[in-house]
């Protein structure tokens, strides 16, 4: 693996590994980073003579069992009762990202980029494709050929055969004034049985998978964090502050 190289002309991103963290606590923390950036951009536009640079952040974490429903989702895609979720130690939140319902839990690598896209490009679709590409490159390191399916977000194993494709990474983002939050859920050592309680992303005819299931063994979680971290910096062309 190549080391991260510093270039003074590239954007810089503050990286934090939050380890295992409650979903609501992480959501509140994202918001505490996201809102000052948005507010500063508004202030900069009102007073361009005294512009203050904004910051970019990338958070990695795992969550305890939780289901989240995005703004364009339907609660009918949650197939389990509140009592069953509680019995399985899972919580549920309606949240302010795009997309439908998904699951986060132990063994899933969650990445939350809080980026000011004015440092990169003002194109949310390109942003989503770059997130997907970072995961696709990471999977290649493990010998997994993954890709996209036209009309669907996320990363899919066996994407060339949509009927038999398996989703390994889900995306859901929010943006305001070209500032992003939320991000990706990348199934590494995930217990896939938890997806049985939902119609993942509201797509009825597609399966989910994990890197562990595809390879048949447990993955070194710290190793894949470092690979994804490097690939994101390469694809988006930035350097890290740590």
Q: Which of 101, 201, 211, 227 is catalytic?
A: 201
Give the torsion sign (CA, 203, 157, 210, 19): negative
| Distance (Å, whole) CA 193 – CA 44 | 48
Measured at the alpha carbon of residue 215, what is the angle toward residues 213 and 221, in degrees to the nearest 5? 80
**Is 61 known to be catalytic?**
no
Query: 18: burial class by Cβ within 10 Å (0-12, 13-18, 19+)?
Result: middle
Query: What radius of gyration do the chain's Cα atoms show?
Result: 18
Please identify which residue in the block is written with the tokens 């509680």.
86
CA–CA separation, 23 and 91 (whole Å): 9
Q: In the numeric block, which tokens belong to residue 87?
A: 């019995």
Upper half-sphere CA count for residue 116 (Cβ side, 13 Å): 20
CA 134/CA 216 separation, integer angstroms: 23
Antiparallel, parallel or unpaired: β 66-69 and 91-94: parallel
CB neighbour list of residue 36: distance below 8 Å, 6 or more residues apart: none
Residues annotated catalytic, as ranges: 201
């Amino acid at each position: 693996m190549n080391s991260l190289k510093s270039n003074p002309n590239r954007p810089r991103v503050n990286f934090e590994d939050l380890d295992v963290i409650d979903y609501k606590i992480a959501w509140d923390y994202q918001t505490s980073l996201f809102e000052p950036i948005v507010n500063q951009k508004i202030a900069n536009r009102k007073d361009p003579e005294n512009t203050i640079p904004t910051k970019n952040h990338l958070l990695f974490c795992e969550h305890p069992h939780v289901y989240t429903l995005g703004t364009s989702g339907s609660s009918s895609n949650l197939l389990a009762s509140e009592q069953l979720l509680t019995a399985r130690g899972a919580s549920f939140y309606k949240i302010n990202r795009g997309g439908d319902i998904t699951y986060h839990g132990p063994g899933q690598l969650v990445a939350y980029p809080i980026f000011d896209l004015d440092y990169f490009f003002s194109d949310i679709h390109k942003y989503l494709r770059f997130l997907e590409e970072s995961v696709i490159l990471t999977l290649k390191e493990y010998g997994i050929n993954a890709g996209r399916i036209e009309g669907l977000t996320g990363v899919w194993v066996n994407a060339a055969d949509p009927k038999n494709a398996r989703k390994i990474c889900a995306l859901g983002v929010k943006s305001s004034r070209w500032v992003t939050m939320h991000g990706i859920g990348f199934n590494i050592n995930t217990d896939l049985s938890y997806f049985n309680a939902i119609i993942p992303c509201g797509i009825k005819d597609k399966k989910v998978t994990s890197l562990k299931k595809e390879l048949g063994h447990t993955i070194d979680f710290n190793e894949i964090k470092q690979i994804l971290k490097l690939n994101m910096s390469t694809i988006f062309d930035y350097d890290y502050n740590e």
